[in-house]
Structure 1
Amino acid sequence: MGLDMYLISLPKIEGMDYEEVHIANAYLHQHETEQNETYQKLKPYVKHFEEYGRSWDSILEEVAYWRKANQIHHWFVETLHNGEDEPCFTQEVTKDNLIDLNNLCIKVLKKKSAPQNILPTRPGCFFGNLHYNDFYYKEIYETQALLAYLITHFNFETHYLLYQCSW
């Protein structure tokens, strides 16, 4: 229980917009059973996953995960979701968004004073640490390294990047 946060990759499929691709994935099993036109479009992107004794097919792929990094969640809520924090939401993330967050992480790591003015924590139900201590800076450091990698290597031309949270 608590704040779980993900960055998820979703392929851009010719002839389908973001919403259509996202909804089609939710009904992937049905499309596969029917072997319909939508499934034929999805089929090249379907991957099989197995974890904890469970298996499933999806075109979504997790590229990042945080647990109770509420300062990062706060940034996504304020920047991409109009400040409205909901127990579960998904929001598209652009390369510019990653660059902006990466720059803020670098600023926090360099400045080491008044991080609450740059990337403040966000209280919530089981959201974790609210102090600006070693754990806070560890999350910022790991996030900055991850963002630097994604900025360089994630293909925004062929895939959507989504932020998803649940608490």
Structure 2
Amino acid sequence: MGLDMYLFSAPKIDGMNFEDVLLANGRFHKLEEGDMLYERLKPYIKHFEEYGRKWSSMLEEVAYWRKANQIHNWFVENLNNGTDEPVFTVEVTKDQLRELYKLCIEALTKQTHPHEQLPTRPGCFFGSIAYDDYYYKEIDRTKSIVENLLKNFNFETHYLLYQCSW
């Protein structure tokens, strides 16, 4: 148990908005070959295998954190209207990612009053809320993840989404 956080890539499909794509991702495995919706989604379905487990999804994991509650807090406060739920999924825009990157740089550069840039968030199994080495290590890791996404992620053809579970 604990706070698990992900960034996923989801394809932008003509005639479907962000919510439609998420809904379709949850339903395509119930559809059959030849079904109009299945045929529309088929080019975007990816097949994965890890640790002997196989699954299919239109979503592809691009980042993962565990118990980086300061990063989770930023997503909760800035993308989910301050509402923390055990499971939620929200779209992340390029501008929002730029803002997170800026805050990571500030927190790493100043290292005084880190609660002003990226405050921790207490929660059940959320990990430490101390402003210690782990706190800064996760911010540095986040900075690298976000920097890579800003350089390489195609926001024109894909949605970026944040998902958590705790």
Q: Indicate whether the TM-score tops 0.5.
A: yes
Q: Alpha-carbon deviation of 1:53?
A: 2.0
Once the two structures are superposed, the pairs formed by residues 66-85 of structure 1 within 5 Å of their partners are 66-85=65-84
Quote the Cα distance in structure 1 between the aligned partners of 2:84 and 2:145: 23
Give the CA RMSD over aligned residues.
0.9
Tell me the equivalent position of 2:9: 9
Q: List alignment gaps of at least 5 residues for structure 2.
A: none
Contact 2:2 2:124 in 1 (8 A): yes
Quote the Cα distance in structure 1 between the aligned partners of 2:35 and 2:18: 19
What SS class does the counterpart of residue 155 from structure 2 fall into? coil
Runs of 4+ in 1 over 6 A off after TM superposition: none
May I ask how many residue pairs the two structures share in their alignment? 166
Once the two structures are superposed, the pairs formed by residues 1-167 of structure 1 within 5 Å of their partners are 1-31=1-31, 33-167=32-166
Q: Alpha-carbon deviation of 1:159?
A: 0.4
Q: Alpha-carbon deviation of 1:52?
A: 2.4
Quote the Cα distance in structure 2 between the aligned partners of 1:125 and 1:51: 28
Quote the Cα distance in structure 1 between the aligned partners of 2:87 and 2:26: 16
Q: List alignment gaps of at least 5 residues for structure 1.
A: none
TM-score calculated relative to the size of structure 1: 0.97
Determine what percentage of the aligned residue pairs are the same residue.
64
